[in-house]
Chains A and B, each alone.
Chain A
Amino acid sequence: MKKILAILLTVIMVFGLVACGDKKDDQAKDTDKAEEVEQDADEKDAETPAEGSGKVYYLNFKPEQDQQWQELAEVYTQETGVPVTVVTAASGEYETTLMAEMGKSDAPTLFQVNGPVGLKNWEAQCYDLADSDVVSELTSDAFALKGESGETSGIAYVVESYGIITNTTLLEEAGYSVDDIQSFADLKEVAEDITARKDELGFSAFSSAGMDGSSDWRFKTHLANMPIYFEYQADGIQDTAAIKGTFLDNYRNIWDLYVNNSTADPAELSAKTGDDSRNEFLAKEAVFFQNGSWEYSNLVGEDLFKADELTMIPIYIGEGDEANQGLCTGTENFWCVNKDAEQEDIDATLAFMNWCVTSDVGVKAMSGGEGAMPSGDPGMGFVIPFKKALESENVFVKVDADMTAAGKTPVAWTFSTMPSEEWKNGVGSALTAYAADQTDDNWQAVVTAFVDGWATEYELSNP
């Protein structure tokens, strides 16, 4: 009897261990199911014809577009027989996920870096794309990301714009139109007038400039792009080991304008999140909301805004040729191919990338809006820097196209040259402290974090 009991216990224990190791599939509630699912997957793999013989594993950066990528992968597999796995990292967890995945034997064949600084971590793993077909599809050489070795390590696959998203209806209620705002002085006048009449109008100029981790990148990264861009312009450089901070007074002016004419008390910004800010804008509590074209699907739709109620204006900081300043347009999404993958997998990956940006289905899925996916779901709505791109329905993207057509110069995304996350955190921390207590001393702390922090972090990142 005891023997039987012992055997029984052992069986249960072993089974328990197996069950523990199988938890990958969250949806499968019990182990039996999980095993069935895995078996099915195995069979499917075995059945796929070995036409292309390689396979593709894409580690996707954008959670918003996960569904579309999954569908596109399935369609591609049906068309060509090449298995494509798409895994999407959780928001803010890309670097961690990528590190873990790259260490595995079935590492991603296609992954992303966010620009030259991100590339520093991964350059050794990047396949040289210079001779691939997909590079020849790029509309401009500027979209190829070159590493220190001069190889084409990555290519941009989506171009985005940011600026100040404006609720034109509210702006008109306040007695202004978008055309009235052509410079920092105009913006300041409008914003301060709205603040003065806040109680009468029932709304503020800016939505809260939240400095919670979900929102602070709008200011420590995107807004900080402005003084860096103008400094690079003035000095005729693309990158620097030591920023001078020539235009930090302008940075202070726009930051003052944001925090002192907003829905929230500047002392409480540290606790305001990205959702808070967006919700204030959606609730028509603010006219302006600094953000990018990626916010389109969060702002336009049923129960939300109509597309013609919104527009985007450039972030003026009172520097350069403001009459001809466009939106901040650039990219921080670069595709890289894993050099350490099997050659046949690399070939399969290159073919998949090429298919995405040249085939009708792929291009439509990537740049289309409503009903652009084969299943009838909305597409990714990207502006893709490839020759076959379609016109986007995104209103902010259209604004950018119109401005460029009108001869305005887009502001480049220089923030991809910021030396590290640590630098951004330092600036963000100082900005928050300054907003709560706007003294010259506290601004000096921002300047120190900006200028000295840059030199320190640059040195630490480039030993």
Chain B
Amino acid sequence: MTMDKILKKWFPVFVIPTLAAFIIGFIWPFIQGVYLSFCQFTTVNNAVFNGITNYQKAFTDESFANAFGFTVKFAIVSTILINIIAFIIALALTSNLKGKNIFRTVFFMPNLIGGIVLGYIWQILLNALMSAIGQPLLALNSKAGYWGLIILMCWQQIGYMMIIYIAGLQNVPQSLLEAAKIDGASSLQTIFRIKIPMVMPSITICLFLSITNSFKLFDQNLSLTAGEPAKATEMLALNIVNTFYARAGAAWKGIGQAKAVIFFAIVIVIALTQLYATRSKEVDQ
């Protein structure tokens, strides 16, 4: 049998378990979640259909709009910073630097720590710093909360993006680089005219990851600032959870669910737009 035939014969065995798990664990709950956003409910069993009331309430909720604004501000700055810094480090660590493997490992390590733990560690660090320089602490200081979140996310994400960029940079054909060198291209020209166009697929994936991560950020937000002061640093995901659990009354679960569906749509639209925009810039080798 050729490989093709073997694959054809056996593929259901490999695909079906995963597909089933995906449907049970993701597709079905998602469909149910969308349905619940049109209901008033306390548990999934006692849902009562109530039309688009939840969506009306969600759209008129000021805190949701504020959270959206804050999330966008956060996503833009963190995406730019993470990707630029990660790319620069990747450039440095693909050159003939001594001990580059150790550096790669060290930069990657923050990624292995969970968001909640990181949030609390940085909260202690930043509060100690603020207290030493006589500034109000994180919970009273929305500016510090914002930059604290940015620093935390950069620290955590740069290593991960760096690995992807390193892989991309290592795939740039040596012959192209040599040709550029012979033609007299400066190192900056090499970066902007050759390396960046050649690693466009990595840029696509890194931008996608950092944008969606920024939008979906929850753990770090919860543990670093918990939305303080007075919801000024509350991001979308935290706002949804607070809608769900911090308000009394039967109506709020449905509104939280509606917000979650809106949230999903926003993330999808933004991510797809970005994918489309950067894909079109990719070149074939």
Contacts and interface: CB of A to CB of B under 8 A. Distances in A.
Interface of A: 2, 6, 9-10, 13-14, 17, 95-96, 99, 102-103, 107, 117-118, 120-122, 124-125, 211, 213, 267-268, 270-271, 340, 419-422, 425-426, 429-430, 432-433, 436-437, 457, 460-463
A422 B124 CA distance: 25
Residue of A340, A426, A436 ringed by the most chain B CB atoms within 10 A = A436
Interface of B: 1, 6, 10, 13-14, 17, 21, 42-46, 123-124, 127, 131, 136-140, 226, 228-231, 242, 245-253
Contact of B42 (A124, A211, A430): A124
Main secondary structure of the interface of A (DSSP, over half): helix
A267 B136 contact: yes
Residue of B123, B139, B250, B251 ringed by the most chain A CB atoms within 10 A = B139
Main secondary structure of the interface of B (DSSP, over half): helix
Given A10-B14, A95-B245, A102-B43, A268 B137 contact: yes
A117 B13 contact: no
Contact of B137 (A121, A267, A421, A457): A267
Nearest to A460: B247
Contacts, number: 104
B276 to A, nearest CB: 35
A420 B13 contact: no
17 contacts: A2-B1, A6-B13, A10-B10, A17-B21, A95-B245, A103-B45, A120-B248, A120-B250, A211-B139, A268-B127, A268-B137, A420-B247, A420-B249, A421-B248, A422-B246, A429-B229, A461-B248
Across the A-B interface, the 7 shortest Cβ-Cβ residue pairs: A270-B139, A421-B246, A103-B43, A461-B249, A102-B43, A103-B44, A461-B248
Nearest to B17: A17
Contacts of A463: 249, 251
A433 B17 contact: no
Given A118-B248, A436-B136, A463-B251, A99 B230 contact: no
A121 B6 contact: no
A23 to B, nearest CB: 14
Contacts of A99: 42-43, 253
Nearest to A93: B245
A432 B43 contact: no
A151 B202 CA distance: 63
B247 to A, nearest CB: 5
Contacts of A103: 43-45
B249 A429 contact: no
